[in-house]
Structure 1
Amino acid sequence: MAFVVTESCIACKYTDCVSVCPMECFYEGPNFLVINPDECIDCSICVGECPVNAIVEASAIPLDQVHFVELNQTLSQDPRWTRITSTKTPLTEHEKWREVKSKLHLLQK
């Protein structure tokens, strides 16, 4: 079962996870990252790298975040979302949004 980027990533977009991914299966949008589940090899290396604990195994995802399984699949296939393979600076206001839990309304597709 692949790993999934969840709501905690929205408006922060830390990319620490990207630099350790051996399969380069992360894709980025304007203010969020996703994992392509067809490319993820379930190694879990990225999980510990996320400073906001946004990466979860799909089979263990909390019920209130289960919609992110499909969202990762869909957005990773969207041609506007591009593969990201190296670390970048987080979004400008990442500290403001780091502890906020309910951010789905902020997601920019």
Structure 2
Amino acid sequence: MTYVVTEKCVDCKFTSCVSVCPVDAFHELPDRLYINPEACIDCNACMDECPVEAIFPDMDVPEELQEWIELNEKAEEYPQLVGQIDALKGPKCSDPDADQ
């Protein structure tokens, strides 16, 4: 099992999840994060930390979000993110408290 970042991360890119990842499994795109399934150790820390509930265990990804499993498999194509940075809070951000 591995964890998967899904569409609720798009334009939000909160990185509190990154700061609790013990194996630096997160990779950064301009508008979202992905989790590298090869690096993820299934510790659950990121899922508990995500403020927009964008992270799921791969076996529990809702049917309508299944494409995100494949998208996260491409994580290594993007720069690795280590540590927390400012949230994106863009126009598609699903966080009701985000500045829009």
User: TM-score scaled to structure 2, two decimals?
Assistant: 0.90
Please report how far the alpha carbon of residue 32 of structure 1 lies from its aligned counterpart in structure 2 after TM superposition: 0.4
CA distance in 1: counterparts of 2:87 and 2:95, whole angstroms: 14
Q: 1:56 to 1:93 in 2, by over 3 A?
A: same
Deviation readout 1:72-100 (Å, 9 max, x if unpaired): 002x121xx11111101111537x62248
**Quick one: distance in 2 between partners of 1:58 and 1:84?**
21
Q: How many percent of aligned residue pairs carry the same amino acid? A: 41
Alignment match, 1:97 = 93
CA distance in 1, matches of 2:63, 2:89: 30
Distance in 2, matches of 1:69 and 1:21, equals 19
Q: Is the 2:3–2:56 contact (alpha carbons within 8 Å) kept by the matching residues of 1?
A: yes
Unaligned ranges ≥5, structure 2: none
Alpha-carbon distance between aligned partners in 2 of 1:38 and 1:97, rounded to the nearest angstrom: 27
Aligned pair in 2 of structure 1 residues 86, 92: CA closer, same or farther (>3 Å)? same
Letter in 2 for 1:14: F
**TM-score scaled by length of structure 1:** 0.83
Q: Tell whether 2:89 aligns with 1:87.
A: no
Gaps of 5+ in 1: 101-109
Q: Does 1:24 align with 2:24?
A: yes
Equivalent-residue separation in structure 2 for 1:56 and 1:93 (angstroms)? 22
Matched AA of 2:94 = R
